[in-house]
Amino acid sequence: MRDARDRFLRNRAAIACMIVLGLIIAFVMIGPQFAKWSNEEIDWAALGDLQTLGVPSIESGHYFGTDDLGRDLYARTIQATGTSLTVGLIGALMALFLGTAWGVVAGYFGGRTDSIMMRAVDILLAIPTTMVIILILVLVGRSFTALFIALGAVSWLTMSRIVRAQTLALKNREFIEAARAGGVSELMIILRHILPNLLGVVIVYASILVPEMILAESFISFLGLGISEPYTSLGALIAEGAGTMAYGTLWQLLYPLFFYVSIIITMFFIGDGLRDALDPKDR
């Protein structure tokens, strides 16, 4: 791990993206202290004709301007960025635990257990992901919990196949045979020998999965099925901004789009850096 850390620190692009991501997180945590308006408060003075909506201004306290309902876009962007980051991280963690547990059990025990478990994964993968997410949201309702359930229901499938393949390659290695010969239980072999050797692959895929979760949530919010008011996400803000572009209120689109693109790019570069650092062939 020290060797992997040193190689990761030599990756300038990944380190730069770590700094950018840290600044975005700091913006979400510290930014509300500088907001003069709440995310739900309406500035009636900014309402009127769409071409005279509140433009970004330090004097008015609307640093990013207002939306078409007169709400402060700065405060709403902070909330939306925090929501998207939370969805991405929790969705990735759900995929991490579910996919790893499913893939390890299927790959290690093999036989009929592997066949039944992986056929179930194949059936679920055959169903369009977007349709599953929309169906769950329609049945359960629009909420944070429903969104996490919907994303978690489809995000772990690919992870389980990756982990299973790695487990199949590991379970017949010499050190696993030595552990069996030494009387180590199957559970301890999985916990002490299989899982630590899967750590690199799991971490890399989880880092890539975060932006994929954010993309999925943004798409669902763009369709109007994501998080409901008064809460919002970057996808919902981008959808609102795209709807008012014809009136020249570009700030409603550009500010949330900037944070959205920044998060996606930084997470992909961080995942790429982790892949290079944890790849045993690069040692």
Per-residue model confidence as pLDDT tens digits over 176-228 = 888 888 888 888 888 888 888 887 778 778 877 887 888 787 777 777 777 76
Tell me what the pLDDT averaged over the chain comes to.
81
pLDDT band, residue 39 (cuts 50/70/90): confident
- Report the C-alpha gap between 209 and 267 in whole angstroms: 9
Tell me which of 72-81, 83-92, 147-156 is least confident: 147-156
Tell me which of 19-28, 68-77, 100-109, 112-121 is least confident: 68-77
User: Helices 73-109 and 195-222, interaxial angle, to 10°?
Assistant: 140
pLDDT band, residue 279 (cuts 50/70/90): low
Query: Per-residue pLDDT averaged across 218-243, rounded?
Result: 77
What is the 3-class SS of the chain, one letter each residue? Answer: CHHHHHHHHCCHHHHHHHHHHHHHHHHHHHHHHHCCCCCCCECHHHCCCHHHCCCCECCCCECCCECCCCEEHHHHHHHHHHHHHHHHHHHHHHHHHHHHHHHHHHHHHCHHHHHHHHHHHHHHHHCCHHHHHHHHHHHHCCCHHHHHHHHHHHHHHHHHHHHHHHHHHHCCCHHHHHHHHCCCCHHHHHHHHHHHHHHHHHHHHHHHHHHHHHHHHHHHHHCCCCCCCCCCCHHHHHHHHHHCHHHCCCHHHHHHHHHHHHHHHHHHHHHHHHHHHHCHHHC
Tell me which of 45-59, 136-150, 163-177, 218-232 is least confident: 45-59
Domains of the chain: 89-257 (1.10.3720.10)
Q: What is the pTM of this model?
A: 0.78
Which pLDDT score is estimated for 16?
Answer: 92
Which pLDDT score is estimated for 48?
Answer: 57
pLDDT tens for 67-80 read 877 788 888 999 88
Nearest CA among 216, 211, 219, 261 for reference residue 239 = 219
Tokens coding 261: 């693109």
Which pLDDT score is estimated for 282?
Answer: 53
The answer, yes or no, to whether residue 53 has pLDDT greater than 60, is: no
57 backbone dihedrals φ, ψ, rounded to 5°: -155, 135
71 backbone dihedrals φ, ψ, rounded to 5°: -90, 145
What is the 3-class SS of 5-29, one letter each residue? Answer: HHHHHCCHHHHHHHHHHHHHHHHHH
Tokens coding 196: 């630590």
